[in-house]
Amino acid sequence: MTDRLHLSVALAGAGWHPAAWREPTARPGELTSARYWRDLVRAADDAGITFVTIEDALSFGDRGSDDAEPRTDRVRGRLDAVLLASYLAPLTRRIGLVPTVTTTHPEPFHLATGLQTLDHASGGRAGARIVAGSSAAERANFGRRSDGPDGFPASGRVEDDAAWTAAFREAGEVVEAIRRLTDSWEDDAIIRDLATGRFLDRERVHNIEFEGEFFSITGASIVPRSPQGQPLITALAHQTIPYRFAAEHADLVFITPSDAAETTGILSEIGTAIDEVRSESEPLRVFVDLVVLIEDTADAARAAWARLEARDALSTDARVVVGTADDVVDELRAFAEAGVDGIRLRPARLPADLDAIVDGVVPRATAAGVLHEDNGASTLRERLGLPLRASRYARQEVSA
């Protein structure tokens, strides 16, 4: 059983509830301003939250939605998550920065260099939330391919749709390419030898020679080895194939049990997947996602939720907690007892529910001994108790 949890926060526009932008505490006129995101992430950083994720998509509307008739009563438009994280890196101190990355359309080489740059800019606090697949609207925005999933199959199971299973295979290749590219420079490849005039030891920069089902890459990254070696790879998983994808390719997986009791079955399925497909010796961290709306009293929270739902109902697989900070801490405690490594809170309203997390949930959970103490590690991987990854190419040379 896990005694303590890591706490993370998922940031999305005006909040996870689609009507959050209409709340009096919202800042809808600032959603594309640098100040808005700086204020949110600095507040989380000052509270000691381990990392934030930043939502993104490659179409006008919500991920997976049909944009033929885009809704005008919801937030539309967003900033690029990787670029935003790089802007936030020098403005923050300890918090990990984990932008959402879609694997279907961007080139793996570009994804790798962007994440490596973020790791350098943050001093080793970079991660990525990997998203597989694409909608018809996303494919139309790029215009380079017409194949791909068109919504979920009637069964709701990814394995019943060949397009979805292919999307997850492609996402796995992208992650492998990112890892190889970040490994392509050894830690000491830059020597800066003034006497000989050699800046670089070329023998320590390796072409990755990757040949996959969906693409091939011959050369090395253009970005030198970054502080973590490799960024933290995360994924959200709801069912078998995504669980297996996370077990094989990720460092951390977000899950969405309906309650603490359901967590046991999910952890068992993930454990089976780990036994079958995971080649890494390091553990896969498991975080539970919770949508939270927090007020000083339960009655006030229920009234606020009812107001939001009357305007536009939320559709989510994640458990929703509407109540006080103490209610959220009770949920954290229950999931800690269920054996997970952390919780990712999705604030229903921003900045209101992030403020409640910072001012109410974190102090109470800390006092209750539910949260990990900051271990002082300089990188996100080490803060989560994961080792820094050595370059696979350096290991090959040593073993030879």
pLDDT of residue 380: 98
**What is the CA angle 339-302-312, rounded to 5?**
95
Q: What is the pLDDT of residues 56-77, one digit of tens each?
A: 988 877 665 555 567 889 999 8
Confidence of residue 399 (pLDDT cuts 50, 70, 90): very low
Q: What is the pLDDT of residues 327-342, one digit of tens each?
A: 999 999 999 999 999 9
Which amino acid makes up residue 177? A
**Binding site, annotated residues:** 56, 100
pLDDT of residue 396 exceeding 70, the answer is no
Q: What is the pLDDT of residues 220-272, one digit of tens each?
A: 999 999 999 999 999 999 999 999 999 999 999 999 999 999 999 999 999 99
- State which fold the 6-147+227-384 domain adopts: TIM Barrel (3.20.20)
pLDDT of residue 310 exceeding 80, the answer is yes
Q: What is the pLDDT of residues 278-292, one digit of tens each?
A: 998 899 999 999 999
**What is the CA angle 247-393-195, rounded to 5?**
140
Whole-prediction pTM: 0.95
Residue (of 36, 77, 34) closest to 55 by Cα position? 77
User: Which pair of structure tokens corresponds to residue 274?
Assistant: 């780990």
Its sign, for the CA torsion 326, 26, 89, 252, is positive
**Binding site, annotated residues for FMN:** 56, 100
Q: What is the pLDDT of residues 259-280, one digit of tens each?
A: 999 999 999 999 999 999 999 8
Residue (of 142, 79, 86, 78) closest to 114 by Cα position? 86
